[in-house]
Amino acid sequence: MCILHMMQIFDALFAPIARLLVARGLPFPDLIERMKLHYVAAALAQAGDRTTDSRVSVLTGLQRRDVVRLRGQDVKNRRPNPLARLVALWQTGEEWSQDGQPQPLPRTGPGPSFETLTQVVRRDVHPRTMLDTLLASGTVTLSDDGQEVRLVQSSYQPLAGSEDQLAYLSRNLGDHAQAAAENVQGASPAHFERAVHYSGLTEAQIAALSEQFSKAQMALFRDLSQTSARMKAENPTPGPLRFRAGGYFYQTGETE
């Protein structure tokens, strides 16, 4: 397959990323510099850490001096969002939920309270900071006297355009792309990756399908979350693996 044809295949991936990066003000030279690091890391993963700089240069097309400069650098993953963990623990932890239903919590106090829940998640972040962020995103509400906190959303949804939302986008799309890329390269067993797509539908039909999809997905996510929490509680030694299961529903007037 020629390089031009390969690039055209990946245009569907490049276009939305380019629109996002331009909207966020990321200059193209900065993107190129970051991509060099990922190219070197990919070549080392393919050829082995002990391969020569010249070999990495051939695999990536980068100049040898770039390989030497970037070879020792690491692409670090962001820490999981503490608010997402807080919401999940609130729905699965025995101290804060009952029969899988999150219970209203006193704002402060030594017993099961919002304050003690935040301390389980992160002791270096003040409970008020977490509470204010969750209130702003509509994830929780306060009682009229401000002394009780109630969870009203099943997941933490960061504010539009926030750093937290961009971090979610990066992790979700990253894992999806990793699963798809490994499948293309012959992963065995293959990762589950499926999609349904139809055209020629009306706006009302799309709305009905979107609602059906959202309800089914949220029910599945709740079941997976409850099962995962139970498995972790039953296992005294944490295992080395993680998973991410996601879904999306995209509508547009463009034809495929």
pLDDT (tens digit, 9 = 90+) per residue, 237-250? 889 999 999 999 99
* pLDDT band at residue 76 using 50, 70 and 90 as cut-offs: low
The pLDDT assigned to 72 comes to: 78
Average of per-residue pLDDT across 14-28: 89
* pLDDT band at residue 64 using 50, 70 and 90 as cut-offs: very high
Kindly state whether residues 139 and 87 are assigned to the same domain: yes
Residue appearing with tokens 């969870």 = 151
On whether residue 4 sits in a domain, the answer given is no
Kindly state whether residues 145 and 91 are assigned to the same domain: yes
Give the number of other Cβ atoms within 10 Å of residue 39's Cβ: 18
Task: State how beta strands 105-106 and 148-151 pair.
Answer: antiparallel
More confident of the two residues 66 and 72: 66
On whether residue 230 sits in a domain, the answer given is yes
Nearest-CA neighbor of 81 among 8, 183, 157? Answer: 157
The domain tally of the chain equals: 3
- Examine the fold and report which residue of 42, 70, 98 is the final residue of a domain before the chain moves on: 70
Q: pLDDT (tens digit, 9 = 90+) per residue, 94-134?
A: 888 887 789 999 999 888 999 999 999 988 889 999 999 99
* pLDDT band at residue 255 using 50, 70 and 90 as cut-offs: low
Residue 75: is its pLDDT beyond 80?
A: no
- Examine the fold and report which residue of 129, 151, 173 is the final residue of a domain before the chain moves on: 151
Average of per-residue pLDDT across 168-183: 91
Q: Are 111 and 142 in contact (CB under 8 A)?
A: no
Domain span at residue 35? Answer: 14-70
On whether residue 167 sits in a domain, the answer given is no
